Structure 1
Amino acid sequence: MQAPRSRHEPTPTAVPRTVYRVDYMSSQTTFNKTDGFRARNQTTIINTPSTLQKYAMPHLAWQTNFSSPFISVFADKQHAERWARTFAEKNGDKCYVVSVDTTKLARGPIFRAADLLADVELSPAEESMHFSEYLVLHRIPGMALIEEIIVSAEVNSTWQSLGLC
């Protein structure tokens, strides 16, 4: 099996300054422009490696019967936009790619998906899906939101909404 793209990423010394949240109507994560993004599960405390694995693996596997404390974001803007377009085309709905300033995130852990999946055998589709992905615990405050790009299933239907905040 070929090594995943995400495993070829250099290990970061810090979280990227800007990350990109792909949001859509059926997401477990809720959103409003004032409060920002909130994970469905706001109570879980991640204080051991086993607890991290217990909650991260179902999140990364898209298990919908599971209340996740994480919000997925991507470090690569083009990847986030491609992901949003694919999701919009598959589901016939709009997606939003929201730029997030990580310097304005609340204190709390952020995990890199490539590190969590290092020992997991992934299909090429899974490898691609998790490329440059990070998991933010519990919330992304509204003050950290920079702008949004709206992606629709229609051809050439990407447009930008400046000044989200």
Structure 2
Amino acid sequence: MLMFSSTTSEIAARYQCDGKEVPKVLWRVRYTGQAPQARAQPSFNTQQQFKRAVELHLNWSNRIPTPFVSLFDTREHAVQWARRHFELGYDDVFLLKIDAAKLGPVFRVRYLVQDSDIHTLLPESMYNDEFLALRKISRRRIIRETFVSCSDQYSSEDSAGRTSEESNEDDDVFAG
């Protein structure tokens, strides 16, 4: 279980989805060169700091670390995102099927932009089905990891062959 300061936890709780708003399965794209740990620890002392961190995360030109990991609620959007990484020259791109239960705080980007005065230049189609998880995704939450081929319609079958039952939560952690 992730532990945050009480202020960070209180601020995150104001914006996080309740369990009914989060799909049972979310999708993540992993590619060569991603850091094995989150780029920043969550530390929000004000609502404005939380909002700024989300805005930085949604700015693709941003190089300032954020404490969020992006996830999609549709496999199709995740596959499109994987294709984009092939176009950018990445060779090893994987689609992760994530068990969304017990991820910790999860935020729906669409709600943050519409209801929380968070600004982005992204078109709505880019974030409409995007969720943000705070800090990390443990290997235990990964249901399946599938290699995505640039020539396949969607992806190859479970080339990594990993399931959540085969992992230890203390093993490597995938984080954005």
TM score, norm. by length of structure 1:
0.73
Aligned counterpart, 1:144: 141
Amino acid at match of 2:94: Y
Q: CA deviation at 1:68?
A: 1.2
Match of 2:128 in 1: 131
Letter matched to residue 141 of structure 1: S
- Letter in structure 1 aligned against 2:125: S
1:130–1:91 CA distance, 2 compared to 1 (3 A): farther
The correspondence for 1:62, drawn from 56, 60, 63, is 60
Give yes or no for contact 1:89–1:152 (8 Å, CA) kept in 2: no
Matching residue's letter, 2:144: E
- Tell me the CA shift for residue 23 of structure 1: 1.2
State the superposition RMSD in angstroms.
2.4
**Relative contact order higher in (CA < 8 Å, ≥ 6 apart):** 1
1:22 aligns with 2:29: yes
Aligned counterparts, 1:5-154, within 5 A = 13-27=20-34, 29-30=35-36, 38-42=37-41, 44-46=42-44, 48-105=46-103, 108-118=104-114, 120=119, 122=121, 126-153=123-150
Secondary structure at the residue paired with 1:86? helix
Indicate how the Cα distance of structure 1 residues 46 and 77 shifts in structure 2: closer, same or farther if over 3 A, else same: farther
| Structure 1 stretches lacking a partner, 5+ long | 1-11, 31-37
Give the number of the structure whose residues are more often strand, by fraction: 1
Contact 1:104–1:143 (CA<8 Å) still a contact in 2?
A: no
Instruction: Indicate if the aligned counterparts of 1:73 and 1:134 stay in contact, CA closer than 8 A.
Output: yes
Q: How many residues are matched?
A: 141
2:147 and 2:156 in contact (8 A); partners too: yes
Q: Percent identity?
A: 32
Q: Displacement, 1:112?
A: 0.8
AA at the equivalent of 2:67: P
| TM-score between the two structures when normalised by the length of structure 2 | 0.69
Q: Distance in 2 between matches of 1:143 and 1:121?
A: 32
Any gaps of 5 or more consecutive residues in structure 2? 1-18, 165-176
In structure 2, C-alpha distance between the alignment counterparts of 1:24 and 1:81, rounded to whole Å: 12
CA contact (8 A) 1:69 1:137 kept: yes
